[in-house]
Amino acid sequence: MALFAGAAGAADTAASFTLPPLPYAANALEPAIDAQTMTLHHDKHHQAYVDNLNGKIKDFPALQGAKIETVMAQVSKYDAAVRNNGGGHYNHSLFWTIMAPVNKGGKPGAALQKRIAQDFKSQDEMVKQFSEMAGKNFGSGWTWLIVKPDGKLAITNTPNQDNPLMDVVQEKGTPILALDTWEHAYYLKYQNKRPEYVKAFWSVVNWNEVTKRYDQAAK
């Protein structure tokens, strides 16, 4: 089951993949994420990944009409451009949904809270470990909270636009929380101070969405 739309209608033969709209206004996550960064990140960076991915359909007809999750799970069948741009599309599509305006994101649901306590002892400890991992993610990449095949939670980093759905990564699982640690995600506001960006991120986490994704992955 796709957790967000990865393809346009079957009649759209020119482009299978579309840029999802932000689920909030560009300034809705301030002060954690400023409107200018959000606009550039969504309208320019993400749009470029979508455009480039659609540009590969002529080389790989199987991409036409494919769900982006399916592409990720079989990404070894494709070239580096599909891996990078497909990953960029999937990663950002998820990223927008797991954020919400300050104090609007709720809290982890009961089952997720229980799982966090089992695997990390507490939510505070999970946040600490996740933040430390994000700080250690060298260069450009992503930090993830995933549900592993055995049902346990894990925190993992991936480089560039890789993600844990890909069949080429070492630690696989279903992402339920993601943080973009590319500099373009935070540099206008935070410059080189990634730890400040990571700290601010927790104020806009949409735990309602993270919980929904956990419940679906844990079935």
* CA-closest candidate to residue 194, choices 146, 142, 156, 155: 142
| Longest pairwise C-alpha distance within the chain | 50
pLDDT of residue 103: 86
DSSP states of 40-73 as a string? IIIIIIIHHHHHHHHTTTTT-GGGTT--HHHHHH
pLDDT in tens, 29-57: 999 999 999 999 999 999 999 999 999 99
Which pTM was predicted?
A: 0.92
**Structural domain spans, the chain:** 33-219
| CATH number among 3.30.1490.20, 3.55.40.20, 2.40.50.100, 1.20.58.100, domain 33-219 | 3.55.40.20
Which residues of the chain fall short of a pLDDT of 50? 1-13
pLDDT given at position 9 = 34
Q: Look at residue 219 in the predicted model and tell me its pLDDT.
A: 83
Q: What is the dihedral of CA 65, 68, 73, 76, to 10 degrees?
A: 80
Q: What is the pLDDT of residue 14?
A: 54
